[in-house]
Amino acid sequence: MSGLGGLNKSPDGVVIGLVQMQLPVVDTPEQLREQVGRIVGLTAKARNGLRGMDLVVFPEYSLHGLSMNTDPALMCRIDGPEVEAFKKACRDNRIWGCFSIMEANPDGYPYNTGLIIDDQGEIRLNYRKLHPWVPVEPWEPGNLGIPVCDGPNGSKLALIICHDGMFPEMARECAYLGADVMIRTAGYTAPIRHAWQVTNQANAFCNLMYTASVCMCGSDGTFDSMGEAMIVGFDGVPLVVGGGRPDEIVAGEIRPSLVREARRLWGVENNIYQFGHRGYVAVDGGAGDCPYTYMEDLVNGRYRLPWEDEVVVKDGTSEGFPKPTRSYPGKAAGR
């Protein structure tokens, strides 16, 4: 249950609001400033509309729209005015917020970045999208791993972005690092609706973890995003599901203490534990080896599919991007 959309908040509950934000057109710095104002206004609406809300989540592309415009004049910095406005909105409204920016990168294409800011206006999580939606998106692959942070009312939060959620390893990493809530923000359009739903449910169930996910919504005259906000319980059952109404804030309550209880007490289908303790009925402690060839090959830099040579789309030229000439430099220092 979700406490009637967060109207009846439990003492250990966390009320999340997912903003199905109207898809904007942002082609100029002035339009960027206007969109910052809309996001700040909806942050206040979230607080005023539901006084018990703890965290308001804006979708991927809520600031920049879906144009994939990499004009340096539109790119943001973590210490820039756009992020400062988001920090002030959280502080003024005493609410946590999750925001999306396209972050300037002096060494290549911009990063697709997500931020979680607490109710004091402090950045608690900074994530760069690990898996840009190729071949469509030009963003630099993220280099900060998957950070996890303490969230409101005893929760532990992780954030992934859009296409990230199609890789089960992403959700598993979030849970492995201790997250009991995985936020997924997106700009997806209608053809992805079914995959969106089933992956949000599978990511929750396979890791005994809540998932809270939201897309952009409505049309910008070219693209049509689908909204489809949803909160899924740790048993894989949707608790709250939105539709396609732009700017609707779909809210619900989660209870992270129940995740911790399930992870501690469940025997059957405690998959996040059992993954590293195979067959513990037969052998003491279970098998702790890695039987997965793809994991070993990826770690050792030799990941290669049996049909690798037959893959047709291997760069962004089909979407009008030039073939890249530089190699990935690796993760950021200290990670």
Is 45 a known active-site residue?
no
Is 174 a known active-site residue?
no
Which residue in the list 9, 60, 98, 140 is annotated as catalytic?
60
- C-beta atoms surrounding 238 within 10 Å: 16
Surface-to-core class of residue 233, CB atoms within 10 Å of its CB (0-12 exposed, 13-18 middle, 19+ buried): buried
Q: Tell me the pairing of strands 55-57 and 96-103.
A: parallel
Is 290 a known active-site residue?
no
Surface-to-core class of residue 191, CB atoms within 10 Å of its CB (0-12 exposed, 13-18 middle, 19+ buried): exposed
Helix (H, G, I), strand (E, B) or coil at 145: coil
Residue where the block lists tokens 């396979």 = 206
What tokens does 323 get? 């073939």
104 vs 67, 113, 205, 310, CA distance in Å?
16, 10, 36, 35
315 vs 143, 263, 265, CA distance in Å?
19, 41, 46
Which residue in the list 87, 98, 103, 129 is annotated as catalytic?
129
Which residue in the list 76, 162, 174, 215 is annotated as catalytic?
162
Q: Which of 54, 80, 93, 91 is nearest to 212 (CA)?
A: 54
Residues carrying an active site annotation: 60, 129, 162
